[in-house]
A and B are shown apart, each in its own frame.
Chain A
């Protein structure tokens, strides 16, 4: 995968397959500690401890059409080659949380990529699933005396539904999807504003 946002989309598809009603995606960029953390959490059917460990094996998959499942192993490999790692916390009947972290400045770290595209596409194509996105950027204050500054962008597909009435299928409207994408793009862009001052 060329972008981390594509791994995120892939994990969101896993959540959907697990019957999730809500998917929480979180991206945290800590420029002070040089750390990038990506988390995808859901309230789907979850896995047992054994299943969760086995999910990192490329030759284990829940589907029946073929014997390989590469989504999680690929994301794990992406994290490990950047001095990071990946964990899966899961409980049967409660949901799953996949967390990966990377050294943000690592030369092999893929760009985060088009997170807005991932979130808007998933929200629009899966109107019955609530998509909640949080993206935080923490950086050192320009003044050495001041504490670190943190900015956050949040998006919740059900907030959009609320503005547009009751029926979540409005999220499928191409114009609404486009609005969500532009909205997320702008929100994420604003997180980096003023850098280098």
Chain B
């Protein structure tokens, strides 16, 4: 990651960031949720989240919604990541690490091909 940290660097991001907001409101977008309860955090959810954000940032994908949730009771499989593409089933991945998270973004979020071998649950879209 390059060193963008000064206030000038932040200002330079301004237009892009505001444009991203507009796109966000108008389009149907992919949705990623990371489990961030005590169990998820202890298992490495923050590193997974950082990897996901980093992949999205590299690809300038500001239209993807990234969110977090608490413990859903499947602590043994943490870190858990849910990926839902518009009109597609919700896929839950278990035991995700940084490397898996990067591949999930590349293969599932970008190319629309779920990584079924790591999926622990698939819920059909309503």
Please report A residues at the B interface, Cβ cutoff 8 Å. 1, 6, 9-10, 13, 17, 63, 65-66, 69-71, 74, 114, 117-118, 121, 124-125, 160, 163-165, 167, 169-170, 172-179, 181-183, 185-186
Q: Is B21 a contact partner of A170 (Cβ separation < 8 A)? A: yes
- B62 in complex: contacting residue of A71, A121, A175, CB < 8 Å: A175
The complex places the Cα of A6 from the Cα of B36 at a distance, in Å, of 10
The complex places the Cα of A55 from the Cα of B79 at a distance, in Å, of 24
Contacts of A117 in B (CB 8 A): 46-47, 50
- Quick one: closest A residue to B3, CB to CB? A182
Contacts of B125 in A (CB 8 A): none
Please report B residues at the A interface, Cβ cutoff 8 Å. 1, 3-5, 7, 9-11, 13-14, 16-18, 20-21, 24, 36-39, 41-42, 46-47, 49-50, 53-54, 56-57, 60-62, 65-68, 70-73
- Quick one: closest B residue to A126, CB to CB? B68
The complex places the Cα of A90 from the Cα of B66 at a distance, in Å, of 31
- A170 in complex: contacting residue of B18, B41, B53, CB < 8 Å: B18
Contacts of B16 in A (CB 8 A): 173, 175
Majority SS at the chain A contact face: helix
Majority SS at the chain B contact face: helix
Q: Is B36 a contact partner of A9 (Cβ separation < 8 A)? A: yes
- Quick one: closest A residue to B49, CB to CB? A121
The complex places the Cα of A118 from the Cα of B45 at a distance, in Å, of 11
Q: A74 with B14: in contact, given A121-B46, A121-B50, A170-B21 (CB under 8 Å)?
A: no
- Quick one: closest A residue to B72, CB to CB? A65
Q: Is B66 a contact partner of A125 (Cβ separation < 8 A)? A: yes
The complex places the Cα of A177 from the Cα of B52 at a distance, in Å, of 12
Contacts of B39 in A (CB 8 A): 70
Q: Is B66 a contact partner of A173 (Cβ separation < 8 A)? A: no
- Quick one: closest A residue to B38, CB to CB? A71
Contacts of B13 in A (CB 8 A): 164, 173, 175-176, 179
The complex places the Cα of A186 from the Cα of B24 at a distance, in Å, of 30
